[in-house]
């Protein structure tokens, strides 16, 4: 029964901005699905507010709407496009919730749109805890096993407190309904914790519902990925076992595929339950994942939950097995059955089978606690990781050690030198799951802990514990050996030891170990991920390394370009870089090269085996990359390695690759140094006659103090060679400067601290440009909404710039060209400028693709990353203009006057983090980047575009109601006009006494409310924080006073996050918001596809 | 290069009859063994695999790298002993972990004298077998190994699988009875079950009579040498022919017994070897597959319903029957009821004019998915139909 013929067009909803719990995996899934649906001849209409995605590239869908994913905007799109069907299962919880909400509002019925891929009843059965419990009971009645944890559903705090007794006491698990990534869930060990967690959970749940559950902490945790077609054929694509037992969110756990510690009887029992559940829930075409807990003492199975949609786990499972779940889900949704769909990898066998693995896959989470120093780092059932790395090996130890080094984080690899510490203390620490607990466990083992002690402390399965012992024993042998015998070296490599680890153990340099290893002929081979354990020949070159015997890399004729990806997502280096790498792959493939992708991030489009000609799923360390280059050099000609598109990770390898004789194409390592090294870059600026803020570099406090004294406080300090403003801070006095230097771990004689004059009240400007050695193509100029001093990644920005004139653009163009030329760029460069007074300062230059490349590309309808990749391999701007890859005339600096305005807004992860007392973390923006993702609002005027960006990021701006204003003294002047506007739009203003006084003197009435520190008034007058919690406030403007750990206004801002009230923390954002509110109050806001925008732009350009 | 140096294991060498050689470490018993090299792609169920009599005289290569993780328990074996002639794994577990585990797999292999090898590139070996076909192999382990030429010569002297008649070697010597299981989970007294089935043991797995017993069938398991008289002596409602090792073209005895059953139109069900016997009884040929089907992820389509089931396979031979037409046989019309979607190999036969069917794969699973368990219900329906 082939494809349905009654569907001609389908609306796909994406997942919106990258947030914790919902990340790049939905770009991967959505891109696959859109491509498949188009290939099936359907008109694909896409909505996704996230510009940094491949799926929102104009060639992926027929009509791409970069608009907020809210029922309101999606309805506008439906009204305009009138799709036959809506596919809601590929955009995470966001898409599912939006679809359900539109169904409930009758929108789908009104426009005759059929929900495909999942029906409402199935979604509700899978997502609603109570209904799902019924599902599990029905399954047990049918097949005799499977049960839910004992639980009670609660809709109020009274229900919650009473519920604990029903379950037999603490600890209990709290799970809010209908939230994503387990947001708001956690373990409560006593009433205080319970009130806090459940209170927040009731708020977060759109149905004000939480589930209270018996504790199954320490049980084994498993996940199955299933698919079902309309003929009721069901397959289990993958089993996943969590290294960390129950209690840690699966997104935060180290996970392993396939399951390692189940007998066939137990595995088949999980499989039977899983199949019975997908049938009972009624997912008739598509995928779902189901999580299980298994009691290690007796095998009792508890079904934890299911997601009736594509998920992070399904992306992982797809990469782990080679079975593309999203792609197949899309085909099933339009009517195919599993047996009608061929297995891409073998081409000869059908998709109606279950992949079998002859390797082990390990996924390790990447955290960002260093960005939120006050946040509690204990891992719980609320997901906190911001990214993940996956590694494949021929055994667990090899995969695990590869995964840990893929994390690219100091201390993520096992260390075997130095004193491990006190065994008892280490074991005590191991009890609490944290980022890096596995390293603590390894130290405990080094300190003499027994397997039983480790198990008692952690409940990590004894088989996994033994694998850690195995690794430790090899480290011991390496340390004890007289010399590095080939057999021992091979054995160490076979268990995943890196050259760097061996070097550390042996007291050698890494390159010496590598030389010895090569001399002994100990090199990895590359095996294929083929879905079938070699039973059938694989047609898809999807490789991983292993120290085994036989390599499967085939010879090739065409010259290859090796593109280095960006590794695990982290704050500051996310999906934007993957976007650029994927574009390079497409462009270079079109230009006749064989493209070879190297990356270790399972969430991404770059690690889809369909993206490049060859895929190496490998860590991005020097060792791993050198081995791949070696293997590919043996296979055929290598034109070069692209390092400038994957962010700081590959850029950091540039010099070492060159030193090892690898041809690095594009901007040469010397040029990268010229941009990143303060002294060299100062030289470039001096030669070009460009001003930079006064600055200096130091490696000691004394040095830093001397510089600061000379240029005057406040100063901006940061370590060199970092991304995302890591460790960057505005320092207002000497005391803080001293503690900053003392606390920083990044500063060393080879890595000095940079001290810059801080430009107060400057406008920050970002420029993305291409340079081919002679000609500059100005990609785009972005004007930040927030002032300089707030990390560019966290600041909203507008393109084209809204307050800069032709003269400014001219200056920016000249400066950019001078820097690109002076540094020696071949490809992309991103420069940050600050305009203070009338002086244009150069803040920094990055000779690589920047975070804003996808945004700029979409806003100007020009594929900058593709052009950069071509320039890297020798094409010129003129050639690319002639070819049509770049516009024939003009560039991003000469956009027509009626070009649309695009606004990028950052999305912050505040609601994910709590301090150890359970309070929220502060939400003030600063020079250190903390946003996880971004959205784009695009429209003909700034106000509407800004309003759209807010709606996409945080929920719509209020158009009426109560606005609370409390600003720092320095902001009081700038607040008056926007405040007046708010009143004009009918807002009632609330203010603390000081701000109210200023407003009153300017003729603006504001109701004085009590500060939190003043407490409740004698007549029961509530404080502002209480009012926010009571839902009495619709908009909050709160700019921080002064500096220091605990800022005033902290409670206000955390209350705003808890209640999801829009909270503006700069006056610039207030001004922009007022323009947005103004736009919303003036007539209807329309929707327009990127293709329409592009057509308009192209027409205007010619 | 992949040789494990860990532990005090003796060196081991695996030699294929075409001369390809892999060096590893001894696993299980130390010594010498020969057999037919086959690979199994199941990721779970090594205990069931090892004790499946169909693997008699075969050296099994596990494609899953980690084997032995859940140790050995007393519930999961499919027969009284390990039948594989040799065992090839990449990374054997050092420590078993499971609440049902009684001892380690290494211990069990040694106890039962099964020679194995570990630490070799099992994927390279699998690819080799895929490309060149299943072939004879020898594993030699210990500290004093013969030279390469001697080892190869010995491998080439070992018997081949084609033409091997092995059922009698693995089947029960005496008839035994597996009582039916009542709704209360207790055994039904012998003689009072709803149905009685005579099961001809050609290498039967323990789960097969259990699946029948669960459905109220009392199973009389007969030796492979059983005659038609022996079969009808138990007064059966249905007759079952099991799986088993060896070349079906040698199984003349069971074929003639089956013909007698077909003559009497007694409901008949066959699995694996039993399917090949039915094929032969109907006049179809059998042939040896290049490298066989061994795994628990094989897609089989039930052509009567169009549904696909994921199934457990262990067969090196197959029936040569036309896929797309009904064949006339001495016992009426017959058709191919099941087919493997990977390679269109015949996976099931059924007679259209009398109650007999068989499948090439393993509905009893163990190890493997339970998707095909409905076939036992079909057998029950046939017996009910006959009674009505």
Could you report the per-residue pLDDT of A844-874, keeping only the tens digit for each?
899 999 999 999 999 999 999 999 999 999 9
- The residues pairing with A390 across neighbouring beta strands, listed in sequence order, are A363
Q: Which residues does chain B have within 8 Å of residue A261's beta carbon, measured at their own beta carbons?
A: 69-70, 97-98
Residues 6+ apart with CB under 8 A from B226: B175, B198, B200, B257
Put simply, whether A1084 touches B (Cβ < 8 Å) is: no
What is the chain B residue with the closest CA to A494? B2
The CATH superfamily assigned to A150-215 is ATP-grasp fold, A domain (3.30.1490.20)
The total number of structural domains that make up chain B: 2
What percent of chain B has pLDDT above 70? 98
C-alpha dist (Å) from residue A957 to A404, A1073, B317? 42, 8, 70
- In this predicted structure, what is the pLDDT of residue A677? 83
Task: Classify domain A388-519 by CATH architecture.
Answer: Orthogonal Bundle (1.10)
- Distance, in Å, from the CA atom of A464 to the CA atom of A473, rounded to the nearest integer, reads 14
Structural domain ending residue among the three candidates B101, B124, B157: B157
* CA-closest candidate to residue A19, choices A910, A734, A1052, A672: A910
Closest Cβ opposite residue A463 in set B2, B93, B295 = B93
Put simply, whether A143 touches B (Cβ < 8 Å) is: no
More confident residue, B3 or A990: A990
**Residue A1048 pLDDT class (50, 70, 90 cuts):** low
- Distance, in Å, from the CA atom of A1034 to the CA atom of A1030, rounded to the nearest integer, reads 11
| Model ipTM value | 0.97
- In this predicted structure, what is the pLDDT of residue B66? 98
* pLDDT value at A48 more than 90: yes
Closest Cβ opposite residue A360 in set B66, B306, B310 = B66
Q: Enumerate the known binding-site residues of B.
A: 54, 244, 246, 273, 276, 314, 316-317
Contact A358 B94 (CB under 8 A): no
Matching fold, domains A388-519 and A525-650? no
Do residue B260 and residue B373 come from a single domain? yes
pLDDT, averaged across chain A: 92
Do residue B232 and residue B357 come from a single domain? yes
More confident residue, A167 or B318: B318
Residue B312 counted as domain residue: yes
Q: Which residues does chain B have within 8 Å of residue A260's beta carbon, measured at their own beta carbons?
A: 66, 69
Contact A550 B310 (CB under 8 A): no
* pLDDT value at A764 more than 90: yes
Q: Among the options B48, B78, B218, B272, which is catalytic?
A: B272
**Residue B2 pLDDT class (50, 70, 90 cuts):** very low
Do residue B181 and residue B148 come from a single domain? no
Q: Can you state the percent helix, strand and coil of chain B, rounding each to 5?
A: 25, 35, 40
Answer for the pair B22, B14: CB distance below 8 angstroms, yes or no: yes
- In this predicted structure, what is the pLDDT of residue A1044? 39
The tens digit of pLDDT for each residue in A882-925 reads 999 999 999 999 999 889 999 999 998 887 887 777 677 777 78
- Distance, in Å, from the CA atom of A325 to the CA atom of A317, rounded to the nearest integer, reads 8
The tens digit of pLDDT for each residue in B305-320 reads 999 999 999 999 999 9
**Which stretch of A746-760, A994-1008, B345-359 has the lowest confidence by average pLDDT?**
A746-760
Q: Among the options B128, B293, B313, B362, which is catalytic?
A: B362
Which positions 309-328 of B are in contact with A (Cβ < 8 Å)? 310
Residue B6 counted as domain residue: no
What's the topology of domain A525-650? Rossmann fold (3.40.50)
**Residue B5 pLDDT class (50, 70, 90 cuts):** very low
B220 as an active site residue: the answer is no
* pLDDT value at A1047 more than 70: no
- In this predicted structure, what is the pLDDT of residue A855? 97
* pLDDT value at B348 more than 50: yes
- Distance, in Å, from the CA atom of A251 to the CA atom of A244, rounded to the nearest integer, reads 11
What CATH number did the domain enclosing B269 receive? Answer: 3.40.50.880
What's the topology of domain A955-1081? Rossmann fold (3.40.50)
Q: Which residues does chain B have within 8 Å of residue A299's beta carbon, measured at their own beta carbons?
A: 99-100
Closest Cβ opposite residue B44 in set A233, A262, A297 = A262
Choose the mutation target among A219, A294, A549 for the interface with B, i.e. most B CBs under 10 Å. Answer: A549
Do residue B300 and residue B152 come from a single domain? no
- In this predicted structure, what is the pLDDT of residue A89? 92
- In this predicted structure, what is the pLDDT of residue A1017? 86
More confident residue, A726 or A654: A654
- DSSP per residue over A400-437, as a string? HHHHHHHT--TT-S---SS----HHHHHHHHHS--TTH
What is the chain B residue with the closest CA to A535? B130
Residues 6+ apart with CB under 8 A from A805: none
Residue B3 counted as domain residue: no
The tens digit of pLDDT for each residue in A545-556 reads 999 999 999 999
Residue B229 counted as domain residue: yes
B293 as an active site residue: the answer is no
**Residue A246 pLDDT class (50, 70, 90 cuts):** very high
- In this predicted structure, what is the pLDDT of residue A220? 97
Do residue B124 and residue B173 come from a single domain? no
Do residue B134 and residue B240 come from a single domain? no
* pLDDT value at A746 more than 80: no
What is the chain A residue with the closest CA to B294? A535
* Structural domain of B277: 167-387
* pLDDT value at A954 more than 70: yes
Contact B342 A349 (CB under 8 A): yes
What percent of chain A has pLDDT above 70? 98
The tens digit of pLDDT for each residue in A460-472 reads 999 999 999 999 9
Put simply, whether B123 touches A (Cβ < 8 Å) is: yes
Do residue B325 and residue B226 come from a single domain? yes
Q: Enumerate the known binding-site residues of B for L-glutamine.
A: 54, 244, 246, 273, 276, 314, 316-317
The tens digit of pLDDT for each residue in B121-139 reads 999 999 999 999 999 999 9
- In this predicted structure, what is the pLDDT of residue A1045? 34
Distance from CA of B317 to the nearest CA of A (A): 16
More confident residue, B75 or A750: B75
* pLDDT value at A879 more than 70: yes
Residues 6+ apart with CB under 8 A from B220: B175, B176, B177, B196, B197, B198, B199, B234, B236
- Distance, in Å, from the CA atom of A133 to the CA atom of A235, rounded to the nearest integer, reads 23
Do residue B135 and residue B47 come from a single domain? yes
Q: Which residues does chain A have within 8 Å of residue B42's beta carbon, measured at their own beta carbons?
A: 264, 356
Top CATH class, A9-118: alpha beta
- For the entire predicted model, the pTM comes to 0.94
**Which stretch of A35-39, A763-767, A954-958 has the lowest confidence by average pLDDT?**
A954-958
Contact B297 A263 (CB under 8 A): no
Residues 6+ apart with CB under 8 A from A547: A394, A398, A490, A493, A494, A522, A524, A525, B1, B2
Structural domain ending residue among the three candidates B128, B157, B186: B157
pLDDT, averaged across chain B: 95
In chain A, where are the structural domains located? 9-118, 150-215, 388-519, 525-650, 955-1081
Structural domain ending residue among the three candidates B157, B186, B201: B157
Distance from CA of A223 to the nearest CA of B (A): 16
What is the chain A residue with the closest CA to B93? A463
């Amino acid at each position: 029964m082939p494809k349905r013929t009654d569907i001609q067009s389908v609306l796909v909803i994406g997942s919106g901005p990258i947030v914790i719990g919902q990340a790049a995996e939905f770009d991967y899934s959505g891109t696959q699905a859109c491509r498949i649906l188009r290939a099936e001849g359907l008109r694909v209409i896409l909505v996704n507010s996230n510009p940094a995605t491949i799926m929102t590239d104009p060639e992926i869908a027929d009509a791409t709407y970069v608009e907020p994913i809210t029922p309101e905007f999606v309805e506008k799109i439906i009204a305009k496009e009138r799709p036959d069907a809506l596919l809601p299962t590929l955009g995470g919880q966001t898409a599912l919730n939006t679809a359900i909400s539109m169904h409930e509002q009758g929108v789908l019925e009104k426009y005759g749109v059929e929900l495909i891929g999942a029906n409402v009843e199935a979604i509700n059965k899978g997502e609603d805890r109570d209904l799902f419990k019924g599902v599990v009971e029905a399954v047990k009645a049918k097949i005799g096993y499977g049960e839910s944890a004992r639980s009670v559903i609660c809709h109020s705090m009274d229900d919650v407190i009473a519920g604990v007794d029903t379950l037999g006491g603490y600890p209990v698990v709290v799970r809010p309904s209908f939230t994503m990534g387990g947001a708001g869930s956690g373990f409560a060990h006593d009433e205080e914790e319970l009130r806090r967690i459940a209170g927040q959970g009731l708020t977060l749940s759109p149905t004000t519902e939480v589930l209270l559950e018996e504790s199954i902490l320490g049980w084994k945790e498993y996940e199955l990925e299933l698919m079902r077609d309309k003929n009721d054929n069901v397959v289990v694509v993958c089993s996943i076992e969590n290294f960390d037992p129950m209690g840690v969110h699966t997104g935060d756990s180290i996970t392993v595929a396939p399951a390692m510690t189940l007998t066939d009887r137990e595995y088949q029992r999980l499989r039977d339950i899983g199949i019975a559940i997908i049938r009972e829930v009624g997912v008739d075409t598509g995928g779902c994942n189901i999580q299980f807990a298994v009691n290690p003492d007796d095998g009792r199975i508890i079904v934890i939950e299911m997601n009736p949609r594509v998920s992070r786990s399904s992306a992982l499972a797809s990469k782990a097995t080679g079975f593309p779940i999203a792609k197949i889900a899309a085909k099933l949704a339009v009517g195919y059955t599993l047996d009608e769909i061929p297995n891409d990898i073998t081409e000869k066998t059908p998709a109606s089978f279950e992949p079998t693995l002859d390797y082990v896959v390990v996924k390790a989470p990447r955290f960002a606690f260093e960005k939120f120093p006050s946040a509690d780092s204990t891992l719980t059932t609320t997901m906190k990781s911001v990214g993940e790395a996956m590694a494949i090996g021929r055994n667990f130890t090899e995969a695990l050690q590869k995964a840990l080094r893929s994390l690219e984080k100091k201390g993520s690899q096992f260390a075997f030198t130095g004193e491990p510490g006190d065994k008892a203390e280490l074991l005590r620490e191991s009890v609490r799951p944290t980022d890096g607990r596995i390293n603590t466990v390894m130290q405990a083992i080094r300190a003499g802990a027994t397997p039983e002690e480790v198990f008692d402390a952690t409940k990590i399965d004894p088989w996994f514990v033994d694998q850690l012992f195995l690794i430790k024993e090899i480290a011991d042998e390496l340390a004890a050996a007289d010399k590095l015998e080939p057999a021992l070296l091979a054995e160490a490599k076979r268990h995943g030891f890196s050259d760097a680890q061996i070097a550390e153990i042996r007291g050698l340099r890494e390159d010496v170990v590598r030389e010895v290893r090569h001399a002994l002929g100990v090199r990895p081979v590359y095996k294929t991920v083929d879905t079938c354990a070699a039973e059938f020949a694989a047609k898809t070159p999807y490789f991983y390394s292993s120290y085994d015997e036989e390599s499967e890399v085939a010879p090739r004729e065409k010259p290859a370009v090796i593109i280095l990806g960006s590794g695990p997502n982290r704050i500051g280096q996310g999906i934007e870089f993957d976007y650029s790498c994927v574009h390079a792959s497409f462009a270079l493939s079109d230009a006749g090269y064989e493209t070879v992708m190297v990356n270790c991030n399972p969430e991404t489009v770059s690690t889809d085996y369909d993206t490049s000609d060859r895929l190496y799923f490998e860590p991005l360390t020097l060792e791993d990359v050198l081995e791949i280059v070696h293997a590919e050099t043996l296979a055929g000609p290598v034109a070069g390695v692209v390092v400038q598109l994957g962010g700081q990770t590959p850029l950091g390898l540039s010099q070492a690759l060159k030193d090892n004789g690898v041809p690095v194409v594009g901007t040469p390592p010397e040029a990268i140094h010229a941009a990143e090294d303060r002294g060299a870059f100062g030289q470039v600026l001096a030669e070009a006659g460009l001003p930079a803020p006064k600055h200096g570099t130091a490696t000691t406090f004394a040095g830093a103090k001397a510089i600061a004294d000379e240029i005057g406080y406040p100063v901006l300090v940061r370590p060199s060679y970092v991304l995302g403003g890591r460790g960057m801070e505005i320092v207002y006095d000497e005391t803080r400067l001293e503690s900053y230097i003392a606390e920083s771990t990044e500063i060393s004689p080879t890595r000095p601290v940079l001290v810059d004059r801080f430009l107060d009240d400057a406008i920050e400007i970002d420029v993305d440009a291409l340079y081919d050695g002679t000609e500059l193509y100005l990609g785009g100029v972005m004007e930040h909404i927030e002032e300089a001093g707030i990390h560019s990644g966290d600041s909203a920005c507008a393109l084209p710039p809204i307050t800069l004139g032709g003269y400014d653009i001219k200056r920016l163009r000249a400066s950019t060209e001078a820097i690109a030329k002076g540094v020696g760029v071949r490809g992309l460069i991103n420069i940050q400028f600050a305009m203070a007074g009338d002086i244009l300062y150069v803040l920094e230059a990055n000779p690589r693709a920047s975070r804003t490349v996808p945004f700029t590309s979409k806003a100007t309808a020009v594929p900058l990353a593709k052009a950069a990749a071509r320039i890297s391999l020798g094409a010129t701007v003129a050639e690319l203009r002639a070819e049509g890859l770049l516009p024939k005339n003009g560039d991003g600096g000469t956009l027509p006057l009626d070009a649309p305005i695009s606004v990028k807004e950052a999305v912050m992860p505040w609601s994910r983090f709590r301090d150890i007392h359970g309070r929220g973390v502060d939400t003030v923006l600063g020079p250190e980047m903390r946003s996880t993702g971004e959205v784009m609002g695009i429209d003909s005027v700034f106000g509407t575009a800004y309003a759209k960006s807010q709606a996409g990021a945080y929920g719509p701006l209020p158009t009426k109601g109560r606005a609370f204003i409390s600003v720092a003294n320095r902001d009081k002047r700038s607040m008056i006009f926007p405040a007046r506007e708010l009143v004009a739009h009918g807002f009632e203003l609330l203010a603390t006494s000081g701000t109210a006084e200023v407003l009153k003197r300017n003729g603006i009435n504001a109701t004085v409310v009590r500060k939190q520190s003043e407490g409740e008034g004698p007549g029961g007058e509530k404080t502002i924080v209480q009012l926010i919690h009571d839902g009495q406030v619709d908009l909050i403007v709160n700019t921080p006073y002064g500096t220091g750990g605990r800022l005033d206004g902290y409670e206000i801002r955390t209350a705003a996050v808890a209640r999801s009230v829009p909270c503006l923390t700069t006056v610039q954002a207030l001004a922009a918001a007022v323009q947005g509110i103004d736009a919303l109050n003036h007539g209807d806001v329309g929707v327009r596809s990127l293709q329409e925008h592009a057509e308009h732009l192209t027409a205007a350009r010619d | 290069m992949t040789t494990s140096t860990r532990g005090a294991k003796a060196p081991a060498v695996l030699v294929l009859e075409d001369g390809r050689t892999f060096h590893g470490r001894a696993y299980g018993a130390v010594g010498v063994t020969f057999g037919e090299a086959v690979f199994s792609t199941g990721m779970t169920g090594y205990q069931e695999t090892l004790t499946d009599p169909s693997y008699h005289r075969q050296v099994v290569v596990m494609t899953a790298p980690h084997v032995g993780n859940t140790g050995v328990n007393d519930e999961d074996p499919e027969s009284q002993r390990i039948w594989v002639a040799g065992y090839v794994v990449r990374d054997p577990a050092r420590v078993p972990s499971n609440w049902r585990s009684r001892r380690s797999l290494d211990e069990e292999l040694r106890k039962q004298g099964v020679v194995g090898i570990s630490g070799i590139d099992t994927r390279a070996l699998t690819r080799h077998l895929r490309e060149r076909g299943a072939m004879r192999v020898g594993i030699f382990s210990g500290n004093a190994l013969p030279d390469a030429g001697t080892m190869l010569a010995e491998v080439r002297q070992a018997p081949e699988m084609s033409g091997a008649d092995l059922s009698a070697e693995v089947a029960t010597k005496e008839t035994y009875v597996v009582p039916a299981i009542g709704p209360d989970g207790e055994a039904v007294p012998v003689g009072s079950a709803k149905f009685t089935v005579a099961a001809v043991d050609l290498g039967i797995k323990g789960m097969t009579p259990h699946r029948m017993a669960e459905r109220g069938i009392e199973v009389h398991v007969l030796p492979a040498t059983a005659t038609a008289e022996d079969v009808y002596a138990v007064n059966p409602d249905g007759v079952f022919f099991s799986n088993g090792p060896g070349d079906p073209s040698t199984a003349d005895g069971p074929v003639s017994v089956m013909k007698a059953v077909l003559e009497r139109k007694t409901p008949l069900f066959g699995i694996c070897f039993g399917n090949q016997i039915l094929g032969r009884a109907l006049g179809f040929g059998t042939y040896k597959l290049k490298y066989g089907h061994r795994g628990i992820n094989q897609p089989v389509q039930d052509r009567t319903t169009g549904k696909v089931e994921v199934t457990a396979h262990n067969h090196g031979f197959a029936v040569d029957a036309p896929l797309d037409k009904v064949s006339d046989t001495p016992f009426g019309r017959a058709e191919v009821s099941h087919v493997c979607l990977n390679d269109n190999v015949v996976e099931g036969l059924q007679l259209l004019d009398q109650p007999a069917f068989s499948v090439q794969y393993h509905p009893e699973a163990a190890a493997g998915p339970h998707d095909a368990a409905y076939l036992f219900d079909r057998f029950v329906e046939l017996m009910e139909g006959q009674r009505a």
